[in-house]
Copies of this chain bind each other. A is one copy, B any other.
Amino acid sequence: MTGTATPRGARLSRGARRAQLLLAARDVFAEQGYHAAAMDDIAERAGVSKPVLYQHFPGKLELYQALLTTYAEELVERVSGAIERTGDNKERVQAAVAAYFDFVAGEGKAYRLVFESDLRGDPEAAAVVESALDRCIDAVAGAVTTDAGLDQDRARLLAVGLVGLSQVGAQYWLDSDQRVPRDEAVALMSALAWRGIGGFPKLTDSAEHL
């Protein structure tokens, strides 16, 4: 655990305290979800009392949104970075899948905020998550469109499939105690994805006859 027991006596500078609070909040929200997490819990985890929390963040919702945005952004950067880093599509697929695996394995289980957010009440939060997903899809779809000869809608649908594959695969791999080593898991998933989009141009014809 990251910030389980701060001595409860330390006086920190404003910046340091804020950073520490963000870490504590991340851990608690990731573990318990938005609703089950109480502001008291977060404060306690940080070794501090509730009003301190409210001196740094206007409310529970804003605190959560701040974290959500941060980590959603991190995911998008990892994925789009992986795709932009090379021109070879096979490597792109491997790198994109690897990006999901690394994101999910990142510290503090922060991925849960993005993939398993239990805040469906707030439209802003939903928008953040959806926008992140969309940009990941866009990044993948861009690569798919150019060399599979599909129109926008169909390319995006395909891209969604790949994203779903990576996301769900990565999550499962993570809480299956990683019985399959990370590199091999990534290789398996990439192979699945790569073979899948392999010879796609001709599909546009054969797709009509389900």
Does A193 interact with chain B (Cβ within 8 Å)?
yes
Interface string of A48-80 (1 = CB under 8 A from B): 000000000000000000000000000000000
Q: When chains A and B are docked, how far (Å) is the Cα of A209 from the Cα of B162? A: 22
Decide yes or no: A162 and B165 within 8 Å by CB, A118-B120, A192-B197, A210-B186 being known contacts: yes
Stretch of A4-12, A13-21, A29-37 that contacts chain B: A29-37
Q: Which residue of B lies closest to A191 (CB)?
A: B203
Within 8 A of B (CB), among A140-171: 153-154, 156-158, 160-169
Of the candidates B32, B158, B166, B209, which one forms a contact with A120 in the assembled complex, judged by CB atoms under 8 Å apart? B32
Decide yes or no: A187 and B164 within 8 Å by CB, A33-B121, A157-B180 being known contacts: no
Does A119 interact with chain B (Cβ within 8 Å)?
yes
Minimum C-beta distance from A161 to chain B (A): 4
Q: How many copies does the complex hold?
A: 2
Which residues of B are found within 8 Å of A162, using beta-carbon distances? 165, 192
Of the candidates B33, B168, B184, which one forms a contact with A160 in the assembled complex, judged by CB atoms under 8 Å apart? B168
* B164 touching A167, Cβ below 8 Å: yes
Q: When chains A and B are docked, how far (Å) is the Cα of A33 from the Cα of B166? A: 26
Interface string of A115-141 (1 = CB under 8 A from B): 011111100000000000000010000
Does A88 interact with chain B (Cβ within 8 Å)?
no
Q: List 8 A-B contacts (CB under 8 A).
A: A32-B120, A154-B188, A184-B208, A188-B203, A192-B197, A193-B196, A195-B197, A195-B200
The 10 closest A-B pairs by CB, nearest first: A164-B168, A196-B196, A33-B120, A118-B118, A192-B196, A160-B172, A36-B121, A165-B165, A161-B165, A161-B169
Instruction: Give 6 A-B pairs besides A33-B120, A161-B192, A164-B164 with Cβ atoms closer than 8 angstroms.
Output: A118-B118, A157-B188, A161-B193, A165-B165, A168-B168, A187-B203
